[in-house]
Structure 1
């Protein structure tokens, strides 16, 4: 497979996953704005900080308001991380490699993008309508990923898609946790905290799965569930193991036989850190610091993957 094709498939996976997760980000904050109108202003700012979009936002807006953030993170073409921009990037990546994905997948993604272009916040200003809109985005992303899972041959293209998808998911789950915990490191939980943590679980469709394992909402258990659980598909641990498996399948090696390149070394080290760091150690370090360190390491992993597989000037041809 050409490096250009592998790069496009990898970023196709990342962008579609990111579109879904940004829709989740927005949904959880809109729900919180209804439940906690007196404290939600701070959480809109936390959302910008957790997604690292605040610097870009400040370039275009003088104040932090709910309406402006919704428009900025959903429809604003000036924001490279808006849902509109990311969906366009996903479409462009697929357009250049249509020969490696099912025809129906390209047609569905293209229709999704074209329909999205006709939707504006001004035309559907009420928050209830926006919640339905974000639910529609999540459902469409599930449809697209389900189509790939059902119809894409298990070849290099498949594993580059899986690699991008789960690296992105691990990163975004860490940012969901930041929204719940950032500026709130008290061990005891008040009524506001219960609503915030419940919303964080619901934002990753984890509420019912969490309650199957734990009887009550407890931030220590929530942190352990979303970071270290090996069975829940949106947990960081689960996502990294899926990404590790895909990366080793691409090279044809196995983790138990040792790494072959710097990308495999980085993902195995990151996996072991998540596996062998106890939740009590995470809390002692500070969850925000732990998540920040994880995001830096995850970005380093992305850079190593680029260097090995996508950088034609110095990468390995395979």
Structure 2
């Protein structure tokens, strides 16, 4: 496979996963604003921290308000990391490799982008309609993922697609956890919880569609259990450990090597090291080290894997 084609497929899937997760970022704060209207309104700025877009926002807007942050993350064409621009990037990557994709995938993504673009030109969206709007974005992204899984040959294109999707998913799950942590918690009291804290943490679970699956494994909402479930669970599809495991499998399938036979390039080495670190770090060690610091370290290492993939396959 040409490196140009592989790069486009990889980023097409990273972008679609990012679109879905940004929709989840906003919707979880909207849902919390209904339950904690006075308190959560002060924490919309955390979304800018989670997406690393605060500097861009500050250049464009004089003050942080709920409406401006929602518009900036979702529709703003001046924000290169808005859902509007990310979706456009995904569509452009798909357009350049249409010949390698099933027709249905291109048609769905193109239609998704055009309908979103048309919607973005309409008048201001009613706040009451926002949950349904973001739910539709998530469903469109999940339909795209289902098409990839149901129509693509299990060849290099499929594994580059999975590699991008799961690395992006692991990164964004870590950012969801960070938002939940910083809303009401400090490093010293992560084990204590009041009703407001539990409301935030349950919203974090729901934002990654994890609430029901979590309750099947744990009887009550405890922050240490939520941390363990979303970081270390090997079977939940949006847990960090599961996502890194799936990305590792895809990387090794592309090269034809196996993790048990050692790595064949630096990308494989970096992702296997990270998977083992997650496996062999206990939840109490994460809490003792500091959840925010641990998640920040993870995001740095996840970005290094992306850089190594670029050097090996795309440069």
Q: How does 1:26-65 map to 2 (within 5 A)?
A: 26-65=26-65
Question: Following the alignment from structure 1 to structure 2, what is the Cα–Cα distance between the partners of residues 53 and 41?
Answer: 18
In the other structure, the counterpart of 1:141 is: 141
CA positional deviation for 1:128: 2.3
* Other-structure match for 2:213: 209
Distance 1:105 1:156 in 2: 17
Residues of 1 paired with 2:51 and 2:200: CA distance?
A: 17
Alpha-carbon distance between aligned partners in 1 of 2:100 and 2:7, rounded to the nearest angstrom: 12
Task: Calculate the TM-score normalised by the size of structure 1.
Answer: 0.96
Does the alignment pair 1:264 with 2:268? yes
Q: Is the 1:75–1:84 contact (alpha carbons within 8 Å) kept by the matching residues of 2?
A: yes
State the distance in 2 between where 1:63 and 1:284 align: 36
Tell me which residue corresponds to 1:228.
Answer: 232
- Larger displacement relative to structure 2 (136-145 or 123-132): 123-132
- What is the CA-CA distance between 1:51 and the residue it aligns to? 1.6
Partner of 2:295: 291
Q: Are the aligned partners of 1:17 and 1:169 in contact in 2 as well (CA < 8 Å)?
A: yes
Q: Give the SS at the match of 1:123.
A: coil
Aligned equivalents of 1:29, 1:122: Cα separation in 2:
23
Contact between 1:43 and 1:179, CA under 8 Å: does it hold in 2? no
Deviation at 1:42, TM superposition (A): 3.0
Residues 173 and 204 of structure 1 are in contact (CA less than 8 Å); yes or no, is this contact kept in structure 2? yes
Aligned counterparts of 1:125 and 1:13: Cα–Cα separation in 2: 28
Q: Deviations over 1:283-316 (max 9, x none)?
A: 00100000000000000100000000000xxxxx
1:206-242: CA deviation from partner (whole Å, max 9, x where unpaired): 0000000001110000000000000100000000000
Higher mean displacement: 36-45 or 82-91: 36-45
Where has structure 1 moved over 3 Å in runs of 4 or more? none
Task: Confirm whether residue 240 of structure 1 aligns to residue 244 of structure 2.
Answer: yes
1:122-155: per-residue Cα shift (whole Å, max 9, x none)? 6353222111110000001111110110000000
1:309 aligns to 2:309 (yes or no): no
* Count of matched residue pairs: 311
Tell me by how many angstroms 1:5 deviates. 0.4
1:98 to 2:98 alignment = yes
Question: How big is each residue's C-alpha offset from its partner over 1:238-285, in whole Å with a ceiling of 9 and x where there is no partner?
Answer: 000000000000000000000011000000000001000000000001
Distance in 2 of aligned mates of 1:192 and 1:74: 27
Q: How far apart are residue 60 of structure 1 and its match?
A: 0.4
Query: What CA distance in whole angstroms lies between the structure 2 residues aligned with 1:47 and 1:240?
Result: 24
Gaps of 5+ in 1: 312-318
Who is 2:130 aligned against? Answer: 130
Instruction: Please report the TM-score for the alignment, with normalisation by the length of structure 2.
Output: 0.97
Quick one: distance in 2 between partners of 1:71 and 1:279? 37
- Aligned residue for 2:165? 165
The secondary structure found in structure 2 opposite 1:76 is coil
